[in-house]
Amino acid sequence: MLTSSLLLLLVSATPSTRIDALLAEVQSRQNVAAVNVCSDDAFLRRVTLDLIGRIPTRQELHAFRKDPNRSSKVEQLLAGEEFPRFWSDVWTASLVGYNTRAFGASREPLRIWIEQCIRDGVPYDQMVRQLIAAEGDSAFDGPVNFLLRHREQPAVKVSRMFLGIRLDCARCHDHPFDRWTREDFDQFGRFFESVDFREISERNVRLTETPREAPVDERPTFLSGARPRTSRWRDELALFVTTCKPFARSYANRMWYHFLGRGIVHPPDDFSANDPVAPELLNYLADYARDSRFDMRSMIVAICNSQAYQRSSGHAGDASASHELFASYAPKPLIAEQLLRSVTTAFERETSPLEWRETLLREVDTSLDADFSQTWAYRDTVQTVMRRLVRETRINESSTTSIYETILSRSPEDREIALCRDRPKSQIVFALIHSNEFRFNH
């Protein structure tokens, strides 16, 4: 139950302050104290990694110190060329993983399409409709590759990714923890019966739709009970998915997960077995998503300008409770794209396609076909750590302060300056580039 004072505040508050007010109510009920916001240096590194996938340059760090306007920095990063490129990497990995030819799918055309959609400001719900109802050639029509990658059971990925529902738990029997039944699973899958894949040339598969005529009571049933009215079942499924309440909640939760490292419902693809830790916040964000017509930039601005996103990664009291209720920021491991971009930024050099592929294989290891919808899962193994330790670590900076600013985006503390005194520059660089502080977004 929201208090009267909170309700009055929410009437005139900005989206960001509404987020914080709703969280403060939850934290108060749970007796969890929120920590202070992070330093300007920490914010710059955090938001730069989250929006464009790399650490800030030393020049960018110094410029922000002169004018530490956080909301303006968010707008600046969103307006730049690097934002759609990096976010296309994140969404592509969430949708199809990293295997470039899994089930005949072509990953790069999908990534290019997503990048163009983000660049053009295409709303998220429209993107999802095109992914579900895609037709065309995989080499030229990016969305085709989503269904091609999941051609064996597309309903499983669609329900988990876009509705936060693990229908696959009802694949063989009724869901043990929710109302979904095997019949629901079978009916959802029937929407894709009309899909046909045909290889028309090397590395090019054509997806076509064969309209299915059937009496109304023999047509597939959506989770809400709705049935298609036409023979274009998949087109109508795309509409059912993107206009239902779980879609807005799942989208809001996934956007929150990207920035905070934890979903309000966590993990973000399992609403069936997990309750939201802040139900009022999730409902507000879902409403805001619909009101802003699923404009991703609007949601990003609202979240990044909130104190919840800007809090320190330190915590007061129990660490797990602090992170779960977003009273402090939960550090996130850098994904392969962030790591490579950050290393090349620190060392001021270009990256060849071969180096990118080698970095990807080193970081992702044998998990190219895994489900990467949980972006921030920590996946390091002993082998990946050992391979990383042979990385070349030459840098142009000379002083200890400049090395720390270049690699960690902050000035060294007095004890660190003392520790680095009389150490070779190469040793300092090696230690910092392989440190947990560099490897995590905090």
Q: What is the DSSP string of 207-273?
A: EEE------GGGS---TTS---SSS-HHHHHHHHHHHSHHHHHHHHHHHHHHHHSS-SSSSTT-TTT
**Would you place residue 194 in the very low, low, confident or very high pLDDT band (cuts 50, 70, 90)?**
confident
CB 191 within 8 A of CB 155: yes
**Would you place residue 442 in the very low, low, confident or very high pLDDT band (cuts 50, 70, 90)?**
very high
What's the confidence (pLDDT) of residue 212?
Answer: 82
pLDDT in tens, 6-36: 554 555 589 999 999 999 999 999 999 999 9
pTM of the entire predicted model: 0.92
Distance CA 350, CA 152 (A): 39
What's the confidence (pLDDT) of residue 179?
Answer: 63
Closest CA to 117 of 286, 355, 295: 295
**Would you place residue 165 in the very low, low, confident or very high pLDDT band (cuts 50, 70, 90)?**
very high
Residue 247 confidence (pLDDT) above 70: yes
What's the confidence (pLDDT) of residue 248?
Answer: 98
Peptide linkage before 331 cis (omega within 30 of 0):
no
Choose between 99 and 408: higher pLDDT.
408
Closest CA to 101 of 209, 195, 202, 200: 202
Token duo for residue 9: 């505040």
Identity of the residue numbered 47? V
What's the confidence (pLDDT) of residue 392?
Answer: 57
User: 29 exposed, middle or buried (CB, 10 Å; 0-12, 13-18, 19+)?
Assistant: exposed
pLDDT in tens, 206-232: 999 888 888 888 888 998 888 999 989
**Would you place residue 386 in the very low, low, confident or very high pLDDT band (cuts 50, 70, 90)?**
very low
pLDDT in tens, 264-283: 999 999 998 899 999 999 99
pLDDT in tens, 418-438: 999 999 998 899 899 989 999
Of the listed ranges 46-55, 86-95, 216-225, 372-381, the one predicted with least confidence: 372-381
In this structure, what are the phi and psi dihedrals at residue 209, rounded to the nearest 5 degrees? -115, 125
pLDDT in tens, 340-353: 899 889 988 877 77
Distance CA 251, CA 257 (A): 10
pLDDT in tens, 291-322: 999 999 999 999 999 999 999 997 656 666 78
Percent helix, strand, coil in the chain, to 5, is: 55, 5, 40
Find the angle CA(401)-CA(413)-CA(49) to the nearest 5 degrees. 70
What's the confidence (pLDDT) of residue 6?
Answer: 55
CB 84 within 8 A of CB 120: no
